[in-house]
Amino acid sequence: MTTIVSSFICDVNNQKSLSNYILCGQLLLKANINKVIYIDEKIADQFSKFNNHNTKIIPLDRYTLYLYDYMNKLPNFYLNTNTPNKDTLEYMFVMCSKTEIIRYAIESNHFNSNQFIWIDFGINHIFKCSEEDFIQKIENLNNKNYDKVRISSIWDLNHSTNINLHNTIAWYFAGGVFGGGVKALIEFANLTKENCINIMLVHKTLMWEVNIWYYIYLNNKDLFNCYHSDHNATIIDHY
């Protein structure tokens, strides 16, 4: 049995309006598949109507995430980005918290699942299909089963680049979808936390979760079961 996991924390950047995120997220919430969705406690009441037999809405206090302990300790934070209003430090915290939140879902395991899949809350905005087709794609994930971390890659994982992974985005992984078995996902969460803390302590900065994950991949390739996708429907279709 599979549980979809997602989260939405508001006011971490100025890229999109709250209403747009909510509209995209509502399509994910409509899918007839077990879901655990962690919603910023400031707006969780707006989603209470979606609680049902296969959807659990859980208020989340962002400051309970370990990354926020380092909020004022990263003087070297700088990203090489064309969208600085989007790629804020808090946005990096949210991105790097995906594995931690899926850990929360595994530990609670509201639906007694052995498979968990993270899906970005607003992922619908990269799809060019009808609402019905999008919902069907999400529901089709219920039949997937992997022991390792199933994750989509965009760039060739065997081809290294000379970019600075501490401040420049590296699209080795797409970022919006990953999943797999409980044991592998807990190890992935542990390694992500370990690497994030190390980078924050040593380099006094943080970057995109996909960059962190590439570091992890280089030293733990056997943990992963990768498939090729892009930032479109293939991120779900090829899972």
Coil, strand or helix at 208? coil
Render pLDDT for 141-200 as a digit per residue (tens, 0 to 9). Answer: 998 999 999 999 999 999 988 999 999 999 999 999 999 999 999 999 999 999 999 999
Helices (H) and strands (E) in the chain, counts: 7, 7
Pick the most confident of 5-14, 43-52, 95-104. Answer: 95-104
Render pLDDT for 62-73 as a digit per residue (tens, 0 to 9). Answer: 999 999 999 999
Structure tokens at 127: 């799809």
* Average pLDDT for 202-218: 98
Percentage, residues of the chain above pLDDT 70: 98
* Average pLDDT for 129-136: 92
Question: How far apart, in whole angstroms, are the C-alpha atoms of residue 216 and residue 212?
Answer: 6
Q: State the pLDDT at residue 11.
A: 86
Q: State the pLDDT at residue 15.
A: 59
Render pLDDT for 115-131 as a digit per residue (tens, 0 to 9). Answer: 999 999 989 888 888 99
Average pLDDT, the chain: 94
* Average pLDDT for 85-111: 97
Q: State the pLDDT at residue 212.
A: 98
Q: State the pLDDT at residue 154.
A: 97
* Residue 18 main-chain phi, psi, to 5 deg: -60, -40
CA distances from 197 to 73, 179, 183, 193, 200 (A): 11, 23, 21, 6, 5
Q: State the pLDDT at residue 18.
A: 67
Q: State the pLDDT at residue 23.
A: 78
* Average pLDDT for 136-142: 96
Flag the least confident range among 19-28, 95-104, 225-234: 19-28
* Average pLDDT for 33-45: 95
Q: State the pLDDT at residue 114.
A: 97
Percentage, residues of the chain above pLDDT 90: 85
Q: State the pLDDT at residue 111.
A: 97
CA-wise closest residue to 187 among 197, 195, 177:
195
Q: What is the pTM of this model?
A: 0.96
Domain ranges for the chain: 2-237
Say if CB 112 and CB 105 are below 8 A apart: no
Q: How confident is the model at residue 4 (pLDDT cuts 50, 70, 90)?
A: very high
CATH number of 2-237: 3.90.550
